[in-house]
A and B are shown apart, each in its own frame.
Chain A
Amino acid sequence: MDPFESIKQTFFQECDELLTDAEQGLLAMESGEADDETINAVFRAVHSVKGGAGAFGLEDLIRFAHVFETVMDEIRSGKMELTDEVAKTLLRAFDVLADHVAAARDGGKVEEGRSQGAYSELRGLIGGEDEEDDLGGGGDEDFGFVPLTLSIEGEEAPGGFIDLDAQNAEAGVEIPATDQASRDELASWTVEFSPKSEMYAKANEAGLVLRELARLGETRVTLIDDTLPPLDQLSAEQAYVSWRIQLFTDSDEASIREVFEFVEDDCNLIISRDRAEPSVAEPADDGLSDDDRAAAASANADLDIAALLARVGGGDADAEPEATPESVAELPPAAPPEAPAEDVAALIARAQSVAAPPAAKPATPAPTPAPVAAAPAAAAAPAAVANAAPAAAASVTIRVDLDRVDRLINAVGELVIQQAMLSQRVLESGLARSSNVALGLEDLELLTREIQDSVMAIRAQPVKSVFQRMPRLAREVADMTGKRVKLVMEGEGTEVDKTVIERLADPITHMLRNAIDHGLEDPEGRAAAGKPAEGLVRLRALHRGGRIVIELQDDGRGINRPRVRGIAVERGLITEDQVLSDEEIDNLIFLPGFSTAEVISDISGRGVGMDVVRRSIQGLGGRISISSEPGKGSKFTMSLPLTLAVLDGMVVTAAEQTLVAPLSAIVESLTPRTEDVHYIGGKDAVIRIRDIFVPLIDVGVALGFRETAIDPASGVAVLVESEGGGKAALLVEAIQGQRQVVIKSLEANYQQIDGVAAATILGDGRVALILDVDALVTTQRRKPAARPSEKRMAS
């Protein structure tokens, strides 16, 4: 992939995280729980979004993020008071910001009015200033992002990247930078450069500046060291030398000045254009290119040491080997600030330490002030390079392609099956349980389990990615319905399989919409009921018994049971005289075709009802139920398996088939007594279990394996409970035992079959179908025994 596309992807991924953080911060700000760090974090998040947007030239996003950032900056610096109104404005603007990010990612555009509206609102907070600020003007040119092409040949010298070695190799001993003929056409500049000590204190080096200058054209450098005192009076922290450089270049003054950009304030700099043609005699050319010469400068330190040493003895400035015009001298880089004044001996030692081992550390940026301290560091350096690198770059996460994880999971699934088959064969072979083989197999089984759990954990992700979309949704629905909502979320860190997460988004979205639209009263209604105007919706995730449970609770009006019952009767879902418990009435809302909203609003009633929610939850092997208290609110509880890859099942036999019933649905199993089984209308069986009658479903018949049901007394009844509390007893011939099975999707490999959720491969290698308990129960209940006139067999 194009590296910039890849970085861009990183940017949008990071944006998701940043927006999540920002939103949480903004919510905390709204509720008054935000401390300084929270506000700072929001600022930084928006700042980072803007920074990345700038790099990719995403103008709309930049503009919006900028004004957002400005408001945040005012708040964090205390210039703007964080009122409730400000917080609400920010939250609204945040949604637009998120839209801008999405638009930038998907190549769309945010609706102009919406964007401009939020923009103006933010502007309004800042107040006073002009519509467009600095962003519109000079800053813009910087936002162009030029993809990196560091071609060595194609670059202009200024600002370009020139490989010294490559150029020399091509150019041989010729003067490459500017030849004699063209030099006459070049302007001549004189640059006087006198660093102050502050320049060195900031780790700038004169030698580098000179080398940089030499890139603009041919230079003749003169060292001015008139003020250099004798060595014994030399202060390590002072800057003594300066340079006069004659430069032949076609660059303009701005380009020359740019070379001094970092040091401009810490040096005296005079740049002037020479009027006369540079008709002076050729410099005593040594055949070196400017680059060579500049590069050589750093190696010239010994020259200066010689001069310095000479001065210690002589004390005057006569014998100056470095006074030749073309020598580029580099002082042993000046001492950093606060360095203790060194004595002469130390200075010499330092100078020598610079000069002596040029091969050892040619790239030393600047000598460390105290050689004593430097030595161990230098010695330790190679080791540090060797092992510090991975540690430094270490991150606690790695990114792995999902395909690879899935391949691994599949392989582990096969391993589990293989291991089970092996165990079974060993068992069948008659080896004693205490035999070494059997014991070894037991260990293997434990280990396999452990591997499986670990692999599954790789796919596990916090539900945060789904939860994080909800606050916005809540705000939108609240706006549309004119209600006030506070959404409280807990357990965002609860982990569950990635596939489960992906498929959780729709049900939760739908339920949240419902809770606000139907569950909560409007502010007047709430006031009348003595509740705070702001409705509370609580979204919670937690682990319970090897499953993930998601609860959505509101403090609204609760289920209106008489009305629900009435509607159910009206739609023929129940008969008028049917006796239902409160719980059963509540769960009627999950029946297909049930919708309590008389006017289908565009929020909740999108043609889908709670039955769709329920089906999608069931599709994940989950259950959903509701509990409600009139006037106090409702609570939806979803419980889902942590993974879709394995299932704890009860292996049963029916019609000579081996089938698996999900353990999570099973309440109990029992042997039916003939006197407990009754037939309604002569055919539909019910069984009495502790004074409750439940349908007795012959699984073999229900799945079409046989025409007539077996004698209940000869089989085993497995009492199962479906979502919504519906119970039924599944009649099978025998129970083989409990087993964890690896789920193989039927839909993916064959097609969907009513009453069958999936398939698996058992230890003996046979394929077994996994029962869709809910479908079995629902089918039975929908053609209820209570209405024998409409009776249809499930088969």
Chain B
Amino acid sequence: MSKTVLTIDDSRTMREMLNHALVEAGYRVIQAVDGVDGLEVLQANAGTVDVVITDINMPRLDGFGVIEGVRANPEHRATPILVLTTESDAAKKERARSAGATGWIVKPFNPVKLVDAVRRVAA
């Protein structure tokens, strides 16, 4: 069965890009439009999400909140989380890491690298 990736990003463009690259690579993709939505969707799909990809800057709940929310949930404590970040956001990358992010994807991403990163964390 193909693995499921939950993508959380408020940008439709970004979601479509993620979606396209991941679906092309054989993943099943679920989309969420902000942090709150992301956690809800994750809960609704408890146990079936293999990797979470989240943006940092989002309305309602940002990416750090998502990481904390996922890690606080016993069901998803061990689900890999990749954050979407820009090269200049070194501090954010670090903050995401210490919050419990598994890895990161530098925006703008090359689809091959994206899939590579997902594969690297998806068991």
Chain A: residues with CB nearer than 8 A to chain B?
3, 6-7, 10-11, 13-14, 37, 40-41, 43-44, 47-48, 51-52, 54-55, 134, 138-139, 142-148, 150, 155, 159-161, 201-205, 207-209, 212, 259, 261-262, 265, 298, 333, 336-339, 363-370, 373, 377-378, 380-381, 384-385, 388-389, 391-393
Chain B residues with CB below 8 A from A384, complex form: 44-48
Q: At the interface, is chain A mostly helix, strand, loop or mixed?
A: helix
Report yes or no: A378 in contact with B47, Cβ–Cβ below 8 A.
yes
Closest 10 CB pairs of A and B: A262-B103, A366-B78, A148-B111, A54-B108, A365-B123, A55-B108, A11-B13, A336-B77, A377-B47, A52-B13
* A14-B11, A392-B41 known; A51-B104 Cβ under 8 A: no
Q: Determine how close the nearest CB of chain B comes to the CB of A100; give it in whole angstroms.
A: 16
Could you say which of A44, A139, A261 contacts B57, with CB atoms under 8 Å apart? Answer: A44
Given contacts A7-B20, A14-B13, A262-B117, 7 further A-B contacts (CB under 8 A): A14-B12, A44-B58, A161-B116, A208-B120, A337-B77, A367-B78, A384-B48
B101 on the interface (CB 8 Å rule)?
yes
Q: Determine how close the nearest CB of chain B comes to the CB of A105; give it in whole angstroms.
A: 13
* A161-B112, A204-B102 known; A368-B16 Cβ under 8 A: no
- Complex: A595 Cα to B116 Cα, angstroms: 66
Q: How large is the interface on B (under 10, 10 to 19, 20 to 34, 35 or more residues)?
A: 35 or more
Within 8 A of A (CB), among B34-61: 41, 44-48, 50-51, 57-59
Q: Determine how close the nearest CB of chain A comes to the CB of B87; give it in whole angstroms.
A: 5
* A44-B59, A208-B123, A380-B47 known; A146-B74 Cβ under 8 A: no
Chain B residues with CB below 8 A from A138, complex form: 87
Report yes or no: B11 in contact with A48, Cβ–Cβ below 8 A.
yes
Chain B residues with CB below 8 A from A259, complex form: 120
Chain B residues with CB below 8 A from A55, complex form: 13-14, 17, 107-109
Offer 8 A-B interface pairs, CB within 8 angstroms, sorted by A.
A13-B12, A51-B86, A134-B87, A146-B111, A148-B111, A265-B97, A337-B100, A377-B46
Report yes or no: B78 in contact with A365, Cβ–Cβ below 8 A.
yes
B32 on the interface (CB 8 Å rule)?
yes
Q: Determine how close the nearest CB of chain A comes to the CB of B41; give it in whole angstroms.
A: 5
Report yes or no: A51 in contact with B14, Cβ–Cβ below 8 A.
yes
Nearest-CB residue, chain A, relative to B46: A377
Report yes or no: B13 in contact with A261, Cβ–Cβ below 8 A.
no
Report yes or no: B45 in contact with A203, Cβ–Cβ below 8 A.
no
Q: Determine how close the nearest CB of chain A comes to the CB of B32; give it in whole angstroms.
A: 7
- Complex: A150 Cα to B25 Cα, angstroms: 7
Could you say which of B47, B86, B123 contacts A207, with CB atoms under 8 Å apart? Answer: B123
- Complex: A139 Cα to B57 Cα, angstroms: 19
Could you say which of B30, B74, B110, B121 contacts A203, with CB atoms under 8 Å apart? Answer: B121
Could you say which of A204, A212, A368 contacts B77, with CB atoms under 8 Å apart? Answer: A368
Chain A residues with CB below 8 A from B10, complex form: 44, 48
- Complex: A17 Cα to B11 Cα, angstroms: 11
Q: Determine how close the nearest CB of chain A comes to the CB of B110; give it in whole angstroms.
A: 5
Q: Determine how close the nearest CB of chain A comes to the CB of B63; give it in whole angstroms.
A: 12
B68 on the interface (CB 8 Å rule)?
no
Report yes or no: B13 in contact with A10, Cβ–Cβ below 8 A.
yes
Could you say which of B32, B106, B113 contacts A159, with CB atoms under 8 Å apart? Answer: B113
Q: Determine how close the nearest CB of chain A comes to the CB of B80; give it in whole angstroms.
A: 4
- Complex: A208 Cα to B120 Cα, angstroms: 6
Q: Determine how close the nearest CB of chain A comes to the CB of B26; give it in whole angstroms.
A: 9
- Complex: A52 Cα to B55 Cα, angstroms: 13
Chain B residues with CB below 8 A from A392, complex form: 30-32, 41, 44-45
Chain A residues with CB below 8 A from B59, complex form: 37, 40-41, 44
- Complex: A706 Cα to B43 Cα, angstroms: 76
Report yes or no: B3 in contact with A363, Cβ–Cβ below 8 A.
yes
- Complex: A13 Cα to B14 Cα, angstroms: 13
Chain A residues with CB below 8 A from B12, complex form: 10, 13-14
Report yes or no: A201 in contact with B87, Cβ–Cβ below 8 A.
no
Q: Determine how close the nearest CB of chain A comes to the CB of B9; give it in whole angstroms.
A: 9
Report yes or no: A368 in contact with B50, Cβ–Cβ below 8 A.
no
Could you say which of B14, B41, B110 contacts A145, with CB atoms under 8 Å apart? Answer: B110
Report yes or no: B21 in contact with A148, Cβ–Cβ below 8 A.
yes
Nearest-CB residue, chain A, relative to B112: A159
Q: Determine how close the nearest CB of chain B comes to the CB of A20; give it in whole angstroms.
A: 14
Chain B residues with CB below 8 A from A338, complex form: 77
Within 8 A of A (CB), among B56-115: 57-59, 71, 74-75, 77-81, 86-88, 97, 100-104, 106-113, 115
- Complex: A365 Cα to B97 Cα, angstroms: 19
Q: Determine how close the nearest CB of chain B comes to the CB of A320; give it in whole angstroms.
A: 25
Nearest-CB residue, chain A, relative to B101: A202
* A55-B108, A150-B24, A150-B112 known; A48-B13 Cβ under 8 A: yes
Report yes or no: B123 in contact with A139, Cβ–Cβ below 8 A.
no
Could you say which of A7, A146, A147, A261 contacts B103, with CB atoms under 8 Å apart? Answer: A261
Report yes or no: A366 in contact with B123, Cβ–Cβ below 8 A.
yes
- Complex: A207 Cα to B41 Cα, angstroms: 28
* A139-B88, A148-B21, A373-B74 known; A365-B13 Cβ under 8 A: no
Chain B residues with CB below 8 A from A139, complex form: 86-88
Chain A residues with CB below 8 A from B120, complex form: 208-209, 212, 259, 262
Report yes or no: A208 in contact with B121, Cβ–Cβ below 8 A.
yes
Q: Determine how close the nearest CB of chain A comes to the CB of B107; give it in whole angstroms.
A: 6
Chain A residues with CB below 8 A from B79, complex form: 203, 365-366
Report yes or no: B44 in contact with A388, Cβ–Cβ below 8 A.
yes
Could you say which of A47, A54, A150, A381 contacts B47, with CB atoms under 8 Å apart? Answer: A381
Q: Determine how close the nearest CB of chain B comes to the CB of A430; give it in whole angstroms.
A: 60
Report yes or no: A391 in contact with B112, Cβ–Cβ below 8 A.
no
Chain A residues with CB below 8 A from B116, complex form: 159-161
- Complex: A48 Cα to B17 Cα, angstroms: 13
Report yes or no: A368 in contact with B75, Cβ–Cβ below 8 A.
yes
* A203-B102, A381-B48, A384-B47 known; A54-B57 Cβ under 8 A: no
- Complex: A728 Cα to B11 Cα, angstroms: 56
Report yes or no: B78 in contact with A333, Cβ–Cβ below 8 A.
yes
- Complex: A712 Cα to B116 Cα, angstroms: 86
Nearest-CB residue, chain B, relative to A207: B123
- Complex: A373 Cα to B102 Cα, angstroms: 23
Most chain B beta-carbon neighbours within 10 Å: one of A147, A265, A365, A369? A365
Most chain A beta-carbon neighbours within 10 Å: one of B10, B31, B47? B47
* A202-B100, A204-B103, A363-B1 known; A368-B78 Cβ under 8 A: yes
Report yes or no: A370 in contact with B107, Cβ–Cβ below 8 A.
no
Chain A residues with CB below 8 A from B71, complex form: 336-337
- Complex: A338 Cα to B1 Cα, angstroms: 31
- Complex: A384 Cα to B75 Cα, angstroms: 14
Q: Determine how close the nearest CB of chain A comes to the CB of B48; give it in whole angstroms.
A: 5
Q: Determine how close the nearest CB of chain B comes to the CB of A70; give it in whole angstroms.
A: 10
- Complex: A679 Cα to B17 Cα, angstroms: 75
Report yes or no: A203 in contact with B81, Cβ–Cβ below 8 A.
yes
- Complex: A43 Cα to B78 Cα, angstroms: 32
Q: Determine how close the nearest CB of chain A comes to the CB of B40; give it in whole angstroms.
A: 9
Chain B residues with CB below 8 A from A13, complex form: 12
Report yes or no: A393 in contact with B31, Cβ–Cβ below 8 A.
yes
Nearest-CB residue, chain B, relative to A47: B57
Q: Determine how close the nearest CB of chain B comes to the CB of A764; give it in whole angstroms.
A: 50
- Complex: A407 Cα to B41 Cα, angstroms: 36
Report yes or no: B121 in contact with A262, Cβ–Cβ below 8 A.
yes
- Complex: A6 Cα to B20 Cα, angstroms: 11
Chain B residues with CB below 8 A from A7, complex form: 13, 16-17, 20
- Complex: A161 Cα to B50 Cα, angstroms: 19
Q: Determine how close the nearest CB of chain B comes to the CB of A5; give it in whole angstroms.
A: 12
Q: Determine how close the nearest CB of chain A comes to the CB of B14; give it in whole angstroms.
A: 6
- Complex: A635 Cα to B30 Cα, angstroms: 51
Q: Determine how close the nearest CB of chain B comes to the CB of A7; give it in whole angstroms.
A: 5
Report yes or no: A393 in contact with B30, Cβ–Cβ below 8 A.
yes
* A48-B13, A203-B81 known; A145-B122 Cβ under 8 A: no
Could you say which of B107, B112, B121 contacts A54, with CB atoms under 8 Å apart? Answer: B107
- Complex: A579 Cα to B76 Cα, angstroms: 82
Report yes or no: A203 in contact with B75, Cβ–Cβ below 8 A.
no
Chain B residues with CB below 8 A from A389, complex form: 28, 30, 45
Chain B residues with CB below 8 A from A367, complex form: 78
